[in-house]
Every structure is written in structure tokens, then in C-alpha cells.
């Protein structure tokens, strides 16, 4: 029987199989250690998928717009900012690498610029180009690597629908899956470079989508009247710091509903840990105020109290301890 060419699929329905964690781990091992990779696409896409679990709606759907915004940011920063080759041969570039380099040359964007520095209209234009070229191969190929069980997809409708069992699994093991994915992506990249180029490669991959500045969120919170430290209530009109309530190293994304202003002392004390549940309840109350304000509503897409509580729970399952 002819082997199915998953990368050519334009749609795919997930199998309705009973799955245990052990079953999913088998597929995870296959994906990381036995699947075929001529480019870094699958690792980049899986990284984008993990980062966008917080964009899942109540029907377990994630839009291509959200997925490929992260995917584009990952590849811009790897290709342009860090100048890393993305295919397993140096004679032919991957299509996404070519699209990004052509875009950079067209607009004369400096190499030292990370993705966040690009003007928003140009970001949107580049995301559209990358989505058009990236979705053709990586969506179906990843679907096949996971035994047709991870999601349903349709390239025309531009969304995936996650298997709820996989969603739970990915949240439960997100931290270790992120680390393994970053490691495999780094292994793929390192084969073409000498030691100088590989300096801190794993760190470059790990923090490739981390924002350089959180000033936007600081101003939003201050304009909403939140000008005291979320934890100790001291004034932070000057010297405030933006804290990810659920640690960034778990959530891997930037959402207003997860940001609080903190004084330097409290922010350093909390660091990469969880605050007590009392503070979570306080954050839920604050978000309830903001979500009904017209100027802030757009920052709360897919947000719910239950979602924040679940992230707090999943963070604990991923080894994050309370202060």
C-alpha cells in the first residue's frame, strides 16, 4: 500500500482513539527522534503550538493567524536576528527562510532588529506571506507524525482543532516538552556552524520569542489606574516592573491578563515562582474590571477565570513552586 504523504494534505480529521499518557508519549518520542526533517519547520511549528495553547477557544480551536504569528516571529529572529540556516542542506534555502530574507531586503530592515521592532503593518504582511508558504507542508506533516491524533485541520479554514486529551497532556508537560523541542531545534541548527556561531545557541532558541520590552503593558496598566505594587501595595509610579503572574518560562506568551506591576523588591522575590492563591483571586478581580472596558477588551480574547485558574494549576504540575 502506498504510504500517505502527509505534507501534501489540505485537511485531516483526527482519529477518535482512546489515548493514555503512555500512548501520547510514544508519539512524542517518534516526533522528536524518528520523524524526517529536511527543515526546522516542525520544531518551529511545535514551539508555536505550545506557545499558543493560551489562544485555544472553548472548542479547542487555534487559528492559523495566532500560530503563524508566533511561527513568523520565531523564524525572523532565527534567520535575520541570529542569522541561522534553516534547512539540512546548504545548497538550498527553506522557502520560509527565503520569504523572510526577501522581505528584509525589500524594506531594508536592519539585521539587528528583532521581530517586535518591525512596524505592525509590515509584521502583518510578513505573517501573511509566511503563513501562505509554511502551512502547505508543516500542518499535515506534523499531523502525520502524531498518528493523526493530535488535531483536525483544514488549510482552507485556517485553523486546527486540538484533541482535548492532547491539550491536557501538552499543558501538563509543557515545560519539559518546550525544553526538549528547543534542544532538538538547536541540534538541527548546530550542524552547519563553527563554535563561535554556536555560542549560547540553546539560549537563543529558548528566548527567541520573548519580548525585548514590556513597556506597552506597563503603560496600559498605569493608564487603567493600577499604579501600586500588586504584591505589597507600594506606589510604583516610578521604578515599576512588569511581572508575569504565571511565569513566562511556563506560559511562553505575553497577555495583559497575566501581567501585574510590581516594585523591584517584590519582583525579585517572586522571580520565576508562583504567588499565593490569594493573589490569583486578586488578579481575577482586576481582570474582571478590565475585560468590560472597551479600550482593554481586545487584550482578553479567549480569557476566562477558569483558564487562569487552570494555568495556575498546570504551572504547579510543571514544577513551579510558590514563593
Whether the CB-CB separation of 84 and 101 falls below 8 Å is answered with no
Contact (CB, 8 A) for 149 and 169:
no
Domain span holding position 94: 6-206
Pair (157, 245) in one structural domain = no
Domain boundary among 151, 175, 206: 206
As for how many domains the chain has, the answer is: 2
* 88 within 8 A of 188, measured Cβ to Cβ: yes
Q: Which pLDDT score is estimated for 147?
A: 97
Q: What is the pLDDT of residues 243-269, one digit of tens each?
A: 999 999 999 999 999 999 999 999 999
Angle at alpha carbon of residue 288, lines to 283 and 292, rounded to 5°:
145
- pTM of the full structure: 0.88
Write b or e for each residue in 141-172: b if 16 or more Cβ atoms lie within 10 A of its Cβ, otherwise e: bbbbbbbbbbbbbbeeeebbbbbebbbebbbe
Q: Does 244 lie in the same domain as 182?
A: no
Domain boundary among 206, 229, 244: 206
C-alpha cell at 46: 511545535
**pLDDT tens-digit series, residues 71-124:** 999 999 888 888 776 766 666 788 999 999 999 999 999 999 989 999 999 999
Helix (H, G, I), strand (E, B) or coil at 322: strand
- pLDDT score of 89: 65
* Alpha-carbon distances, residue 86 vs 36, 91, 145, 236 (angstroms): 14, 12, 20, 44
| Residues with Cβ within 8 Å of residue 282, at least 6 apart in sequence | 230
Residue found under cell 530592515: 109
If asked whether residues 239 and 285 sit together in one domain, one would say yes
Domain membership of residue 323 (yes or no) is no
Amino acid at each position: 500500500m502506498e504510504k500517505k504523504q502527509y505534507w501534501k494534505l489540505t485537511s485531516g480529521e483526527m482519529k477518535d482513539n482512546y489515548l493514555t499518557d503512555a500512548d501520547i508519549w510514544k508519539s512524542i518520542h517518534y516526533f522528536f527522534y524518528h520523524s524526517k526533517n529536511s527543515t526546522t519547520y516542525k520544531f518551529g511549528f511545535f514551539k508555536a503550538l505550545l506557545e499558543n495553547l493560551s489562544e485555544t477557544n472553548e472548542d479547542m480551536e487555534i487559528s492559523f493567524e495566532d500560530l503563524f504569528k508566533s511561527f513568523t516571529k520565531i523564524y525572523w529572529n532565527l534567520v535575520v536576528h541570529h542569522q541561522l540556516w534553516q534547512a539540512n542542506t546548504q545548497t538550498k534555502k527553506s522557502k520560509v527562510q527565503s520569504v523572510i530574507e526577501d522581505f528584509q531586503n525589500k524594506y531594508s530592515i536592519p539585521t539587528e532588529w528583532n521581530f517586535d521592532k518591525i512596524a505592525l503593518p509590515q509584521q502583518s504582511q510578513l505573517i501573511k506571506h509566511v503563513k501562505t508558504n509554511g502551512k502547505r507542508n508543516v500542518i499535515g506533516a506534523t499531523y502525520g507524525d502524531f498518528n493523526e491524533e493530535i488535531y483536525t485541520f483544514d488549510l482552507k479554514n485556517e485553523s486546527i482543532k486540538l484533541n482535548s486529551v492532547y491539550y491536557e497532556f501538552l499543558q501538563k508537560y509543557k515545560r519539559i516538552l518546550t525544553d526538549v523541542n528547543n534542544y532538538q531545534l538547536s541540534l538541527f541548527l548546530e550542524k552547519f556552524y563553527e563554535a563561535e556561531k554556536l555560542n549560547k545557541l540553546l539560549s537563543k532558541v529558548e528566548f527567541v520569542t520573548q519580548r525585548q520590552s514590556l513597556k506597552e503593558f506597563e503603560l496600559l496598566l498605569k493608564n487603567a489606574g493600577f499604579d501600586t505594587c500588586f504584591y505589597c501595595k507600594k506606589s510604583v509610579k516610578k521604578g515599576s516592573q512588569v511581572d508575569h503572574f504565571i511565569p513566562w518560562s511556563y506560559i511562553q506568551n505575553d497577555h495583559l491578563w497575566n501581567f501585574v506591576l510590581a516594585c523591584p523588591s517584590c519582583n525579585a522575590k517572586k522571580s520565576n515562582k508562583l504567588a499565593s492563591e490569594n493573589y490569583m483571586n486578586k488578579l481575577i478581580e482586576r481582570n474582571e474590571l478590565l475585560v468590560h472596558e472597551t479600550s482593554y477588551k481586545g487584550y482578553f480574547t479567549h480569557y476566562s477565570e477558569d483558564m487562569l485558574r487552570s494555568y495556575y494549576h498546570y504551572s504547579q504540575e510543571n514544577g513551579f513552586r510558590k514563593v
